[in-house]
Structure 1
Amino acid sequence: MSDILQSEKGSIRKAIRNRRTVRKFKSDPVSKEVVLELLEDAVYAPNHKLTEPWRFVYVGTESGKQKHADNLDKALQEIKPDRSEEQIKKFRDHIMSVPAFLFVILKEDENERVRNDDFAAVSCLIQNLQLLAWEKGIGMVWKSGQVLYNRTLQQLMGLDSNERFAAILQLGYPAEIPKVQTRTPAKRLLTELS
């Protein structure tokens, strides 16, 4: 058993240290089947009381990306009404160039403690997904921001009143892998209570 754990530790460590946020993708598609395969393992994230507070919407077809761009445009008209035609076109071109999107939707419990636990679980699931995807040569960027809280976008995407977006993930095979960004050594951040 310990031999199995030792061999797994090395690959997990490598995946954690080598994974990058990828923003430039090749045009190769990332199929719904591949994403589903990744999600089948990613859902084994730590999850207090197994509330499983997540669901997903995959967007990978040309028509799906067109609808996604339309939905985001409607939300952004409310958030940034002064965008120029050039900005709108650049935005839409970008959406169409991304091979696939995955909306991660969080069910929000009425209890604040449960809500916080559930968001932590969804974040763990997303990290699992990123590491599993990296192992298959797929990169992604985890998008957040004001648009995720826009009620118009939530309604257009069919979210229930007790749901919100945890993330919009852009997925694809990397055209470019960013360089390593240095991290603060943990020894500078660790204190001991004695």
Structure 2
Amino acid sequence: MPKTEQSQQNERLKHTIRNRRSIRSFKPETVPSEVILDMLETAVYAPNHRLTEPWRFIYAASEAGKAKLADSYVSFFKKIKDDFNEEKEQNMRKNLSAVPGFLLVVLKEDENEFTRNDDFAALSGMIQNLQLLAHENGIGMVWKSGRIMYDKQMHQDFGLADNERFAAIIQTGYPDEQPKAKERTPAKSLFTEL
């Protein structure tokens, strides 16, 4: 490959990494499942020690799928918040229904602590791959986490095995707006040479 072409590819990659944003406001159109699956087919090439491939995916983009997810959220928040009233429930359902799709990333948890740590690191790399591919395809995503991902009832609702948990709930859709970049600490101020 000629050096100028390689330089252009490097600059394009840098641009993609630096300009990807977490998108929280979406157009109503749903990203087709085949588009999500196509990106996942590449994203799973993340570095993965011992090639454990500790992930699987559930895509909730239909009205029924999103309603099931909303039911799990409502059930969870009713358990943990005493002030979770009818108004808060309706607001939560409205906010969740406004998201075109949810990619639930399931992590298989190994019994060995070191393998679990390696697997979560691999899964995180896979999600970053997915987000970069999505950005390149004009698709927005935001990686959501929180206590709900450890809720056993939600695990049962979505058919997770005893050794599985949710590692991410990725809201997905076509961006309605693109947030501005936030400053990052320069790597040179965090870099030590021995």
TM-score, normalised to structure 2, is: 0.95
Contact 1:101 1:171 in 2 (8 A): yes
- Displacement of 1:6 in angstroms is 3.4
Instruction: Please tell me the residue identity of whatever aligns with 2:152.
Output: R
Partner of 2:131: 130
Task: Show structure 1 runs of 5+ residues with no match.
Answer: none
**Does 2:110 match 1:109?**
yes
Partner of 2:86: 85
- Displacement of 1:2 in angstroms is 6.2
- Displacement of 1:33 in angstroms is 0.8
Partner of 1:23: 24
How many residues align structurally?
A: 193
The 5 A counterparts of 1:20-169 are 20-169=21-170
Partner of 2:172: 171
Judge which range, 65-74 or 115-124, deviates more. 65-74
Render the CA deviation track for 1:140-188: whole Å, top value 9, x for unaligned.
Answer: 1100011111111111111101011110000011111111100011111
Quick one: percent identity of the two aligned structures?
55
Contact 1:32 1:58 in 2 (8 A): yes
Please list every run of at least 4 consecutive aligned residues from structure 1 whose deviation after the TM superposition is greater than 6 angstroms.
none
| RMSD, matched Cα | 1.2
Instruction: Please tell me the residue identity of whatever aligns with 1:107.
Output: K
Task: Show structure 2 runs of 5+ residues with no match.
Answer: none
SS in 2 for 1:29: coil
Contact 1:79 1:147 in 2 (8 A): no
- Displacement of 1:192 in angstroms is 1.9
Task: Give the Cα separation in 1 of the matches to 2:59 and 2:105.
Answer: 9
Task: Give the Cα separation in 2 of the matches to 1:87 and 1:109.
Answer: 37
TM-score, normalised to structure 1, is: 0.95
